[in-house]
A and B are shown apart, each in its own frame.
Chain A
Amino acid sequence: MQKIAIENGRIIDPANQSDSIGSLYIAEGHIIAVNETPGDFTPDIVIDAQNQIVCPGFIDMSTRLRQPGQSHKATLKSETRAAASAGVTTLVLQADTKPAVDTPAILELIKDLADKADYPNIVTIGALTQKLEGQELSPMLALKQAGCIAVGNAGKPVSNLLILRRAMEYAASHDLLLIYRPHEHSLGNKGCAHEGAVATRYGLPGIPYTAETIALAQCLELAKQTGCRVHFGQISCKRSLIKIQQAKKYGLDVSADVAIHQLHLTENDMEPFDSAYHVLPPLRSDQDKQALRDALSQSVITVLCSDHQPHDLDAKLGAFPETEPGMASIETLLSLMLKLVNDKTISLSQGIAALTCNPAGILRLPSGSLSVGMIADICVFDAHMNWTIDSTTWKSKGLNTPFWGSTLSGRVTHTLQSGKIIYSLN
């Protein structure tokens, strides 16, 4: 394997609370030294990281790569390339592939596809219930042994609370983390936009905030009762944050993430009937956005994810309520995080932690830091380089981003995974 030196960069490693200019040395896929040049080290490759930031590779806690089942939307190959160009070295795959990840066989299939894609590390969430139908428990232990890092509902309902309780008890028995996107479907009532002034004006069926908070409250009560570790995915409402904060205060082992676009867009940013803004949970109010930002800065929310959902053109071509929800968002993850740093919502170190050591800690992954001896999953980026989102820069097969055509700041120049350069800008 090649020996790599990343020189003169600003090394930010939140796990070790370090932020300094220096160099990083990589051999045999691992970090062998930070700052101090190891004896008789002759690098095969030198990356000049002057005026750039060197940090652990990003761990994206919620992605859909559309394989197996929907390769007309995107493939593991296309989306892992997009991820590599975005500095992401670990992709956490939601269980709602087609078919859902409810048997080790599906997991094997994903592993095979991932091996062929040979890019970032893909880790998979297993389905909490069979076919994600909320009726019968999935074989969680078998899924865990086959490599699933957690179990989850992928936003699908578990409407029978007895089944949710049993599933959480069973997950807790095997020390499995539950990744739960709270959504009470009866209250969601086939809505497609935040139940607020904008949906009212455009006559769009609304999703009230209670669809999230009620499902969240139920799950929190069950977490207390069952002892199941829970990570809440893609939180969107102010009142959810109050509940999570309280639960943490009372010692419950819970954590939460937010999809990065929820920190930048609200119902008021929606161009009339533009399906690029159709996401679930929906873009909420200005108040919700501010509360989410506050929660991030106060570490009520500790993880940022892209909630990447690439779509084919047809899926987004139609009247708003009839289009499929979701944004292709992995490539805007870094720039949108840096925007939060620029407007002083969070510090750069906090932002990097939310993409690296925080998700690694929750998922118990052996990555997310730059300690000597760690696997060399590394992202090098230029925080000030501008780029325009267009067909020359975009790599995902899904073009469904509301940021298409806009210029953002912050560009990944190199991505290393297990000591191998899997992406370089030039």
Chain B
Amino acid sequence: MTENLQLNSDGKLKHFLTIEGLDKALLTEILDTAESFAGMSEQQVKKVPLLRGKTIVNLFFENSTRTRTTFELAAIRLSADVINMNIATSATSKGESLLDTIRNLEAMFVDMFVVRHATSGAAHFIAQHTAPHVSVINAGDGQHSHPTQAMLDMFTIRQIKKEFAPLRVAIIGDILHSRVARSQILALNTLGAAEIRVIAPKTLLPAHVETLGVNVFHDLTEGLKDIDVVIMLRLQKERMTSALLPSESEYFKCFGLTPAKLKIAKPDAIVMHPGPINRGVEIDTRVADGPQSVILQQVSNGIAVRMAVMSMAMQARGNG
């Protein structure tokens, strides 16, 4: 089972594949650990020797600049040695299977894989088949899970709002294809947020989305009432060609976050976005760069949260 696979015999986080199966105490531990790393970036010496001598491989089967960079920076600041594998130009394009790629890297005494893959369940599969001394961190698998992104979002929310219990959070946009949304919903529910809403047209919502523990809205103005945290999702261009939406402009008209729409939410609401943002598609430039936006803060927090997860997993790894 997922939860057992992620935890060692002492209940510590050995792999970080999904938020599912992790309790509030563990999520809070991640946030607290991240907090202890958060101040470091502004110091002159930005490194701690926690993972000195450890080898981490960033295994990106899908392109990503920010996620990969923040994972890389996090590893460097923990004094680990990092290798970035660009798989599009590497072994699997020569017909090597995912499993063989992993086995070969393992044979080079790697301690941790950070994996991004276009298929749901890929990180899970790698964790199941990797050697027992290797930790796997999911940096996004298909439409399933992106747990470090969700935790850096939780970290950012906690920094500003302190408590989760009173919060009403709205997630807006392409929930159907979003691993970020799935992980955020799980994390917010575990941490005890008062209400989670998803706001999108039916074409961008997965079947039975309410079973994830959310309230569903198809109208942005209705959904934004009393909201403390607004999370915008990126809209991929290909959603138009696959007949999920008629046009970018119609989407912006209905679901784009403009200053006027944002006024419907609570006056102290914050605006988040996992990036990269499409200005004028899902979010108005004035909102993205406005005073309520915490989008860049999310990026900075990404390093601290990833340091936290990497150090915790590396520690738990030794204890079976």
> Residues on A close to B: CB < 8 A?
195-197, 199-206, 208, 271-273, 314, 317-322
Contacts and interface: CB of A to CB of B under 8 A. Distances in A.
Interface string B263-278: 0000000000000000
Contacts, number: 73
Q: Return the 4 tightest CB-CB contacts between A and B, nearest first.
A: A203-B144, A203-B143, A273-B121, A197-B211
A272 B124 contact: yes
Contacts of A199: 206-207
A203 to B, nearest CB: 3
A209 to B, nearest CB: 10
Interface of B: 1-2, 20, 97-99, 117, 119-122, 124-125, 141-145, 179, 182, 206-209, 211-212
A381 to B, nearest CB: 35
A206 B207 contact: yes
A118 to B, nearest CB: 37
B157 to A, nearest CB: 22
A165 to B, nearest CB: 27
Contact of A208 (B97, B121, B207, B209): B207
B97 to A, nearest CB: 8
A206 B206 contact: yes
Given A318-B98, A319-B98, A203 B208 contact: no
Contact of A273 (B97, B98, B125, B179): B125
B119 A322 contact: yes
A368 to B, nearest CB: 41
Contacts of A272: 1-2, 121, 124
A321 B208 contact: no
B121 A319 contact: yes
Contacts of B144: 202-204
Contacts of A196: 207-208
23 contacts: A197-B207, A197-B208, A197-B211, A200-B207, A200-B211, A201-B182, A201-B211, A202-B120, A203-B141, A203-B143, A204-B121, A208-B207, A273-B121, A317-B97, A317-B99, A318-B98, A319-B119, A319-B121, A319-B142, A320-B119, A320-B125, A321-B120, A321-B121
Contacts of A208: 207
Nearest to A320: B121
A199 B212 CA distance: 11
Given A200-B206, A317-B99, 9 more contacts: A197-B207, A199-B206, A200-B211, A201-B20, A201-B212, A206-B206, A319-B142, A320-B121, A321-B119
Contact of A319 (B125, B209, B211): B125
B121 A195 contact: no
Given A203-B142, A203-B144, A319 B207 contact: no
Nearest to A273: B121
A25 B207 CA distance: 57
Contacts of B120: 202-205, 273, 319-321
B141 to A, nearest CB: 7
Contacts of A195: 207
A271 B1 contact: yes
B226 to A, nearest CB: 26
A314 B96 CA distance: 12
A319 B117 contact: yes
A202 B212 contact: no
Contact of A203 (B1, B179, B211): B179
Contacts of A320: 119-121, 125
Contacts of A200: 206-209, 211-212
A272 B1 CA distance: 7
B204 to A, nearest CB: 13
Contacts of B20: 201
Contacts of B119: 319-322
A220 B121 CA distance: 38
A319 B145 contact: no
A273 B124 contact: yes
B192 to A, nearest CB: 19
A353 B117 CA distance: 48
Contacts of B182: 201, 203
Nearest to B142: A203
Contacts of B207: 195-197, 199-200, 206, 208
B1 A321 contact: no
A319 B141 contact: yes
B124 A203 contact: no
Contacts of B1: 271-272
A269 to B, nearest CB: 13
A322 B124 CA distance: 13
Contacts of A204: 120-121, 143-144
Nearest to B242: A189
